[in-house]
Amino acid sequence: MTLSNLEQLDQKPDTSEPSVLLEINAQGVATVTLNRPNVHNAFDHHLINQLTLIFQSLESKNSVRVMVLAANGKSFSAGADINWMQGMASYTYQENLADANALAKMLQLLNTLKVPTIARVQGAAFGGAIGLIACCDMAIGSKLSKFCLSEVKLGLIPATISPYVIEAIGARQARRYFSTAEVFSARRARRIGLLNEAVAEEELDRTIENIIEHILKNSPLAITAAKQLIQEVQHLNKSEDIISITSQKIAKVRVSEQGQEGLNAFLQKRPANWKPTNV
């Protein structure tokens, strides 16, 4: 599917169903599903607001262990909704600023969720959809999926998603794809770091289930601390500060309740108390 194909899609009206679905199973796996398949899960302010509320709610739920970001229909997301873009064309600067801030806030919430996040990608992922993928800790895509940072074709720039996309693929690759707006394959997305794996579509769910099985065996507190560690350490200079900060972090985790439980479980050769019995 090319960009021009997506631009010419029939914009069928949405049903009364919500734009985003949330399901949390007994193991604490939350599945957040984009649910606008008639418009290839295109973004509008309603979808952004729903994602924001869901991410905020997940952050406060201690029972949630991992989140999967998925999408119904043929495409993960075609980017911005055509009708939404038409409205933006008449917005003032202040209205556009408020609109952009809402999207930026949602992306930041996703990027900093305390639990591991996995993007499940099929079909087309264009424009802002690449921002969603880049904000997730892991991304598994179908080998047939296609990607495009299409903003410059419309005279725009991928501004709000840029911090996360650049972190995922690097500045050198961003210089190319921000400028060319070319469509690239899942294989290419994997090579440049946007996807962790590209698998046959029928293997998507099993591949993600395997990752989740590994996550559920580990300490929830340690996973959250490890995510925070990455965010804090990656931009620090290799100086005495980094020695002090990292030493303090491991010392704090070692004396925590889950740190003590994990060490004692290992020494006593028994399962730690956070491990599900069926994993």
Beta carbons within 10 angstroms of residue 44's beta carbon: 18
| Choice among 5-9, 241-245, 270-274 with the minimum mean pLDDT | 5-9
- What is the mean predicted confidence (pLDDT) over 185-205? 97
The per-residue pLDDT for range 128-172, each reduced to its tens digit, is 999 999 999 999 999 999 999 999 998 889 999 999 999 999 999
The per-residue pLDDT for range 8-57, each reduced to its tens digit, is 344 454 556 799 999 999 999 999 999 999 999 999 999 999 999 999 99
Domains of the chain: residue spans and CATH: 3-215 (3.90.226.10), 219-267 (no CATH)
pLDDT at residue 184 greater than cutoff 80: yes
Check residue 237 and give its pLDDT: 66
130 neighbors 150 (Cβ within 8 angstroms): no
Check residue 272 and give its pLDDT: 81
Check residue 88 and give its pLDDT: 76
Check residue 146 and give its pLDDT: 97
- What is the mean predicted confidence (pLDDT) over 118-137? 97
Check residue 8 and give its pLDDT: 39
| Choice among 7-21, 125-139, 176-190, 231-245 with the minimum mean pLDDT | 7-21
Residue with tokens 């302010």: 45
Amino acid at 25: N
pLDDT at residue 259 greater than cutoff 70: no
Q: How far apart are CA 275 and CA 279, in angstroms?
A: 7
- What is the mean predicted confidence (pLDDT) over 100-117? 95
Residue with tokens 């179908």: 142
pLDDT at residue 254 greater than cutoff 90: no
Q: Across all residues in the chain, what is the average pLDDT?
A: 88
Pair of tokens at residue 200? 């046959």
| Choice among 166-170, 172-176, 230-234 with the minimum mean pLDDT | 230-234
Left (φ > 0), alpha (ψ -120 to 50) or beta: where does 41 sit? Answer: left
Distances (CA, A) of 213 to 56, 120, 278, 279: 25, 16, 10, 6
- What is the mean predicted confidence (pLDDT) over 91-120? 93
- What is the mean predicted confidence (pLDDT) over 81-110? 87
Check residue 16 and give its pLDDT: 60
Confidence band of 86 (pLDDT split at 50, 70, 90): confident
Pair of tokens at residue 8? 């010419």
